[in-house]
Amino acid sequence: MLAFLENDKNLIDSAMSTALASEYSEYSKIIEAMRYSALGGKRLRGVLTLEFAEMFGCDKSTALPYAVAVECIQAYSLIHDDLPCMDDDDMRRGKPSCHIAFGEANALLAGDALLTHAFSSISESESAKSNPERAIKAVKILSELAGFRGMVGGQVLDLEAAEKEVDGKTLFLIHKLKTVALIKSSVLMGCYAAGADENLCDLCEKYAENFGHAFQIIDDILDFDGNYDTCELNSYVKVHGLEKAREDAGAQIESGKKILSELKNKGYNPENFDMLLDYLTERMNRK
């Protein structure tokens, strides 16, 4: 694993563990379920928040409550996505899904509690105390892009798309909402934590779009088992074919790299974001 990824992941894991402390013994059952599902994963979204903040001169410790917030939302979405009424998955992050381990009602509540905790993580932080305007901007973008105008809206369209054939344009919109939106909020929260100006935020938003689309296309490529007949209707590989999926993921990665060159020309060091794009390519080539 890349050294900076591991380092950031450790920072986020430890902050999450402290935030979801088991000291609240009266609600120990729900804390247990939250910890079970939230303490794990690659932490790519939180890493993006920390790294964008740092590139623009902000301490990672200041950006950490934002990284924790987006990872709480990520964990909640995965718990709810696995429920029988959604994707009905028994396994997640290499172990039984939350509802298998704790029952459906507790899994639903653990997801709800992680979603709401995301906003406590920001509002109760020292970062919000010292710079409330930046914290409000972060809450605004996260609530917009995780909600019906972002991830939840995408999930609704995705559920519909699982039942009927979809065209490329619709699938692009689904990815934009279901996956790219949360990644975009991660990047922008990092920019906001550092007080980056609007032009920089716009540039970074474009990187987030390229990264997010490439990430989701590659996820669909990795899920494809070689059989188009049994492939899910809402898979990028089903809609476009494996070859085009690879080509499109590559094109998104190339566009992302061009954005990084612009950031470099402005005097910033986007090396880690370049490595993250290479990490995606390497993930795709594992197939």
Which residues are at the interface with ligand GRG (CB under 6 A)? 41-42, 44, 74, 77-78, 80-81, 86, 93, 151-152, 155, 178-179, 216, 219
Question: What's the length of the chain?
Answer: 287
How far is residue 177's CA from residue 151's CA, in Å, rounded to a whole number?
5
- 2 or 136: CB nearest ligand GRG: 2
DSSP 3-state assignment of 96? strand
Query: Around Cβ 254, how many Cβ atoms within 10 Å?
Result: 12
Residues 6+ apart with CB under 8 A from 100: 90, 91
Smallest distance from ligand GRG to CB 199, Å: 29
- 51 or 219: CB nearest ligand GRG: 219
Q: Looking at this protein, which amino acid is placed at residue 228?
A: Y
Element of type H or E holding 95: strand 95-96
- 8 or 219: CB nearest ligand GRG: 219
Smallest distance from ligand GRG to CB 175, Å: 8
Give me the residue whose beta carbon is nearest to ligand GRG.
41
Residues 6+ apart with CB under 8 A from 225: 231
Smallest distance from ligand GRG to CB 216, Å: 6
Question: Are the CB atoms for 60 and 25 separated by under 8 Å?
Answer: no
- 55 or 78: CB nearest ligand GRG: 78
Smallest distance from ligand GRG to CB 227, Å: 19
- 16 or 200: CB nearest ligand GRG: 16
Smallest distance from ligand GRG to CB 284, Å: 13
